[in-house]
Amino acid sequence: MSASVEEVLDRLSTKISVRINSTAALVTDMDKAAAAIDRQRARKQDEKEPSSRKPELGPLRGADRQDLVSTPWDLLSVFARATTLARHGRGRGLAEHWQGLKYCQAMAAGPSGHLALTDDGQSPELSYRAMQARELGRAFGLAVAERTVRNRFPDHMISTLDAEAVLLAGFARSGPRPSLGARPRPDFFIEAWRLGGRSRVFVVTVTGNHQKATKRTAKADRSAFKQLARGSERAEHFHLAEWNTTPCLLMSTELLALDGITVNALRAPGEGLLPARPATGRGSADAGLWERNLAYAIIALARRRLNVLWALIRGGRTFATTPPPPPAALG
């Protein structure tokens, strides 16, 4: 039987605890899953060298490891803010702001008192099951990540940015759907900034799964541990300034955990400081575009020259200062 509007709104505005799992044992379990992934890849691809992963991973610190107390409405709001304008064109980005509303009846307090999926949330169409894991994984993972950054920098503003929108900015793709390609990347960047200070950037990976893990489930077979291991690989592909100085937050959400929805969280230390921008002169926000983008203009010019040279070589022609005459019009 469907719930009334009043019941749904009351459920959405009720604060409920979300379990956080962030311990030293989680790091060990993730390492076991990572080793199993490397062995499997070695058998399939005959690669003996393991993939690079984020070093010095550890559990969250202090209050960051406590359960997250939030309302389902706030969690869906985090997801909506993170996905708005992630894709540009035809108003699609604005439309994505409302896609979290389909989960209004998917979450409520479970038998343990923690947030859990309702019957409606546990029976999505098979084709949408992966979408639910991906989107709710983002909602829970980003909520925990934002709280972690906010606890560390309480006097800063917090902004969550889609990594693909940031890394693809200004770079055209020949395919019909721009993407980052086969090379792995993080999912989001969280920027902590304040007026007159240098911004700090955190690399974030967020995933979710529907596995019903039990005590008999092997560590190497736990979806959450494998997702953290793959997230560590994706985070390792992005470095800001010096090597391994960019802080990282890895999140994997178990939507069907026995004690309610559980967010498994790990962190890597670092400063992640962006260069300071001068208030005036070259490099400031008031500088002309030609002045701030001079290096990019030189690169674009060099790329154009290479295209011209390749066209000459391919056509077997030599360069001429006078352009060839245009072709005669037909008819």
DSSP secondary structure of 258-301: TTS-EEEEEEE----BPPPPPSSSTTSTTS-HHHHTHHHHHHHH
Amino acid, single-letter form, for residue 97: H
Q: Does the pLDDT of residue 293 top 60, yes or no? A: no
pLDDT bin (cut points 50, 70, 90) of residue 20 is very high
Segment 113-134 shows an average pLDDT of: 82
Residue 303 has pLDDT above 70, yes or no: no
Cα 270 versus chain centre, distance: 18
User: Percentage of the chain surpassing pLDDT 90?
Assistant: 37
Confidence (pLDDT) at 202: 96
44, pLDDT greater than 60: yes
Closest CA to 251 of 220, 225, 219, 228: 228
pLDDT band at 226 (very low <50, low <70, confident <90, very high): very high
Give me the pLDDT at residue 169, please.
61
Q: Which residue has the higher pLDDT, 140 or 319?
A: 140
The segment with the largest mean pLDDT, out of 257-266, 286-295, 320-329, is 257-266
Residue 90 has pLDDT above 50, yes or no: no
For 175-216, how does the pLDDT look when each residue is reduced to its tens digit (9 = 90+)?
555 554 456 789 999 999 887 788 899 999 999 999 998 888
pLDDT for res 31: 94
Q: Which positions ≥6 away from 282 have C-beta within 8 Å?
A: 291, 292
Question: Which one of 121-125, 145-149, 237-241 scores highest in mean pLDDT?
Answer: 145-149
Q: Picking from 23-37, 43-57, 100-114, which range would have the lowest pLDDT averaged per residue?
A: 43-57
The tokens describing 67, both together, are: 């359960």
What is the secondary structure of 199-247 as a DSSP string? -EEEEEEEEEE-----TTS-GGG-HHHHHHHHHHHHHHT---SSTT-S-
Q: Is the pLDDT of residue 21 over 90?
A: yes
* Model confidence at 312: pLDDT above 80: no
Residue with the bigger pLDDT between 205 and 313: it is 205
Answer whether residue 295 shows pLDDT above 80.
no
Query: Which pLDDT belongs to residue 310?
Result: 66
Quote the CA–CA distance of 239 and 25 in Å, as a whole number: 27
| pLDDT score, position 17 | 95
Q: What are phi and psi of 6, to 5 degrees?
A: -65, -40
Q: Where residue 103 falls among pLDDT bands split at 50, 70, 90?
A: confident
Tell me how far apart the alpha carbons of residues 114 and 69 are, in angstroms, rounded to a whole number: 9
Does residue 330 carry a pLDDT above 80? no
Per-residue pLDDT, 63: 93
The residue with greater pLDDT, 298 or 61, is 61
What rounded mean pLDDT belongs to the chain?
81
Distance CA 220, CA 180 (A): 29
**Mean per-residue pLDDT for 214-223?**
89
* Of 28-32, 109-113, 284-288, the least confident: 284-288
**pLDDT surpasses 60 at 126:** no
The pLDDT of residue 88 is: 46
Residue 329 has a pLDDT of 47
> How confident is residue 89, by pLDDT bands cut at 50, 70 and 90?
very low
